Amino acid sequence: MVVKGMPNLIECVPNISEGRRPEIVEAAVAALRSTPGVKVLDVQSDRDHNRSVLTLVGDDASLKPAILALFEAVLPKIDLRTHTGEHPRLGAVDVVPFIPIEGVTVAECVALAKSVGSAVAERFVLPVFLYEDAASAPHRRNLEDIRRGQFEGLEAKMKEALWAPDFGPRAPHPSAGASVIGARMPLIAFNINLGTSDLEVAKRIAKAIRNSSGGYRFVKALGLLLEGRGVAQVSINMTDFKKTPLHRVFETVRAEAERSGVAVVGSEIVGLVPEEALIDAADHFLRLEAFRPNQVLERRIREAESGSVKP
């Protein structure tokens, strides 16, 4: 449960089907920024995909009006009937994931996704599918499965019993299609570099650690070769760092590599990582006893800002 007065921090990464007209992307960002408590961290537009990825953070109270304002701003301006681009898409506001960062659980983000999905469907008469941890059935968890057939195939697909929307009408919005809204844990892109150019070693280790072949529950991995460096790499997506932590995967890769007489020469985190994932790693390797997150000075400051510390 979100505790009133405690800081809660949720990331939201709406993908909109517009990457060529800057004035529409700017209108989307302005709509998000118009809601107090929301911060836009990043905007990436891709002309070939004709798509933009907006990264924002806020709390459980501010994100709902922000996302409604986003729909309000872009729905009149994006028409899927004339939209072209390389990236698969189902709607004008294509995907909206909510991601728990701090002081909030994934279950609370699921509740937020449902609340936003319901409001969007009602206000804009638009079908909404819930996905990932918010999915209403196992076959609707994966975005790729929901999006298969794209906007052009949506009308026929929605007539199937399996593909009724979670909210809104049983047919696509004429110009805006449908939206996929959900919740998931933050994804960490974590690559581990091996002291060998033997791709087979990296492939064997990837197989050992990934869920699909018997490894850790929240690990996706594959082996690849960094051609320029002549380094074999285990390329990993960590899909729940709380349940499958970085340090455990790192130690397992190290032990498996050693079995092949190979050293771990380095690792890299691509993109952003929640502070907690790194603090958990420090906690593990330093063998800390009874360490509390609010011993981190910066976190104590955030608590003071949100009014939960009253000296």
Q: Using CB under 8 A as the criterion, which residues of the chain lie in contact with its own copies when the complex forms?
A: 9, 11, 29, 39-43, 57, 101-102, 186, 193, 246-247, 250, 264-269, 271-275, 278-279, 281-283, 285-291, 295-302, 304-305, 309, 311
Instruction: Give the CB-side neighbour count of residue 178, counting CA atoms within 13 A.
Output: 33
Residue 270 buriedness (CB in 10 A; 0-12 / 13-18 / 19+): exposed
Residue type, 236: I
Rounded-to-integer distance, Cα 98 and Cα 183, Å: 5
Output the smallest distance, CB 270 to its own copies, in A: 9
Output the smallest distance, CB 94 to its own copies, in A: 19
Question: Which of residues 102 and 108 has its CB atom nearest to its own copies in the complex?
Answer: 102
Output the smallest distance, CB 288 to its own copies, in A: 6
Question: Which of residues 67 and 188 has its CB atom nearest to its own copies in the complex?
Answer: 188
Which residue is it, tokens 């939201």? 12
Q: Say if CB 233 and CB 200 are below 8 A apart.
A: no
Question: Which of residues 5 and 266 has its CB atom nearest to its own copies in the complex?
Answer: 266
Output the smallest distance, CB 155 to its own copies, in A: 35
Cα-to-chain-centroid distance, residue 117? 17
Q: 201: which residues sit within 8 A by CB, 6+ positions away?
A: 194, 223, 232, 257, 260, 262
Rounded-to-integer distance, Cα 93 and Cα 126, Å: 11
* Catalytic one of 49, 83, 87, 139: 87
Output the smallest distance, CB 287 to its own copies, in A: 5
Question: Which of residues 203 and 302 has its CB atom nearest to its own copies in the complex?
Answer: 302
83 in catalytic set: no
Q: Which is nearest to 1 in space by CA: 154, 107, 157?
A: 107
Rounded-to-integer distance, Cα 59 and Cα 37, Å: 7
Q: Which is nearest to 204 in space by CA: 240, 244, 251, 252?
A: 252
Question: Which of residues 156 and 265 has its CB atom nearest to its own copies in the complex?
Answer: 265
Rounded-to-integer distance, Cα 87 and Cα 310, Å: 49
Output the smallest distance, CB 36 to its own copies, in A: 13
Question: Which of residues 26 and 152 has its CB atom nearest to its own copies in the complex?
Answer: 26
- The radius of gyration of the chain from alpha carbons, rounded to an integer in Å, stands at 21
- Return the active site residues: 87
